[in-house]
Structure 1
Amino acid sequence: MSKTILDFIIHYEYVGIFLALAFGLIGLPVPDEILLTFTGYLVYEGKTGFALTLLSAFLGAMSGISVSYFLGYKLGLPFLKTFGPKIGITEEKIEKTQWYFQKYGNLMIIIGYFIPGIRHITAYIAGISAMKFKRFALYAYSGGLVWSFTFIMLGKELGRKWSVVEQYFHNLGFYAILTAVAAVLIMWLIYKVKMKRA
């Protein structure tokens, strides 16, 4: 992970977390999961508070993914195909995300956070597909909260061993476990909301 980003987070704390995640979810090359795990480590060290760290991460994710949605909604697929490659969003990733989005729909917006190379594009595709913003926000913000919570807690629990996540960043088994955990949390949240409405 770039030492510059770590120093940025250490220096600016909550504002740094917010900005890094916002720009990361728009598509800039920010290693989001590693960043979140590092913020969990800062919580472990007592340098930041858990509640404010989670809030900063959630608001950053919410802002970044909302901007992506509106860019997709207003400017469409030609914009994404033209400017996407400049920030690592290749046509292959766009087509892959479109396929996932068509197959899994709303669930893809939530689970997409946990799939490298996909979470940056799902909001663009949702906007391009003219999905209603209220519906998009319900799934996108829920997913952002679960995603932020999962990695911050992981960093907090790992403590000084937080960098293990960086070593296994590209390990598919690692992501499968996290995706399964996220899916359970999401189903629990949906169940609670349905029970509350009932």
Structure 2
Amino acid sequence: MRDTILHIIANYGYIGIFVSLILGIVGLPIPDETIMMLAGYLITKEHLNYFLTILVAFSGSMIGMTVSFIIGKRLGLPFLEKHGAKIRVTPERLKHVEKFFNRFGKYTVSIGYYIAGVRHFSAIFAGISNWSYGTFALYAFPGGLVWVLVFVNLGYFLGEHWHHFYKIIHHYMRIALFIVIIGAILWGYFIYKKKKKRLCKVKIKS
């Protein structure tokens, strides 16, 4: 399956990237990160344009997320529990994502891209939870853009060695994500303390 998808990307370029990412996000067994890293490598060979590749990959990902969101909103959890196996939505996967969703809330939609199994169904749970599309887009779109930029740029900078690093990167994805989350929390706390200190100084002067 992986080799077939990579062959499609290599031969059909932007259309292959666009369609593959839609289907991969919806839940088909398509290696999303591999597609984007290959696209990054093809940019170095001047087979693809950098900015157009980012736009196409981001658009495909967001359409896939939107389709998943609509599935969750229109069909709901009972339907997925009964018929979800047809699109690889097994009861075990649903329970796993539900726990993750309940634990991390809205940020699951943003950070779930980096965790296989979570990114495919986080949008579904957002729909099931009856989010408005505006709220969903607010969390899904920025996360999706960063996800696309990370993997396309990895493929670009790794060049011909991109496929050697993929398994290592994928294996340590959760560790990397944990580090990013901790870093973001610490940075947010630093900014909060800095603003609080400024407010205190303003009050003292006044």
TM-score range, shorter chain: 0.7 to 0.9
Q: Give the number of aligned pairs.
A: 188
TM-score by length of 1: 0.86
Give SS of 1:48's match: coil
TM-score by length of 2: 0.83
Match of 2:201 in 1: none
Q: Deviations over 1:47-69 (max 9, x none)?
A: 10110111010000000000000
Match of 2:76 in 1: 76
Match of 2:160 in 1: 160
Q: Is the 8 A contact 1:111 1:179 kept in 2?
A: no
Q: Is the 8 A contact 1:146 1:182 kept in 2?
A: no
**Which residue identity lines up with residue 72 of structure 1 in the other structure?**
G
**Which residue identity lines up with residue 45 of structure 2 in the other structure?**
E
CA 1:178–1:98 in 2, change beyond 3 Å: closer, same or farther?
A: closer
Q: Is the 8 A contact 1:73 1:130 kept in 2?
A: yes
Structure 2, unpaired ranges of 5+: 192-206
Q: Is the 8 A contact 1:147 1:182 kept in 2?
A: no
**Offset at 1:100?**
1.4
Distance between the aligned counterparts of 1:80 and 1:121, measured in 2? 11
Larger radius of gyration: 2
Q: After superposing the two structures, state which structure 1 stretch, 14-23 or 4-13, moved more.
A: 4-13
Q: Is the 8 A contact 1:29 1:87 kept in 2?
A: no
Superposition pairs for residues 161-176 of structure 1, below 5 Å?
A: 161-168=161-168, 170-171=170-171, 173-176=172-175
**Which residue identity lines up with residue 18 of structure 2 in the other structure?**
F
Match of 2:113 in 1: 113
Distance between the aligned counterparts of 1:149 and 1:179, measured in 2? 19
Q: Deviations over 1:79-122 (max 9, x none)?
A: 22223223322211111111111121111100000001110000
Aligned pair 1:92/2:88, yes or no?
no
Match of 1:46 in 2: 46
Aligned pair 1:32/2:32, yes or no?
yes
Give SS of 1:28's match: coil
Structure 1, unpaired ranges of 5+: 192-198
Distance between the aligned counterparts of 1:13 and 1:182, measured in 2? 33
Distance between the aligned counterparts of 1:77 and 1:174, measured in 2? 28
Distance between the aligned counterparts of 1:148 and 1:184, measured in 2? 20
Distance between the aligned counterparts of 1:61 and 1:129, measured in 2? 21
Superposition pairs for residues 58-77 of structure 1, below 5 Å?
A: 58-77=58-77
Distance between the aligned counterparts of 1:52 and 1:69, measured in 2? 25
Q: Is the 8 A contact 2:115 2:173 kept in 1?
A: no
Give SS of 2:57's match: helix
Match of 1:7 in 2: 7
Give SS of 2:116's match: coil
Match of 1:194 in 2: none
Give SS of 2:40's match: helix
**Offset at 1:183?**
8.0
**Which residue identity lines up with residue 119 of structure 1 in the other structure?**
R
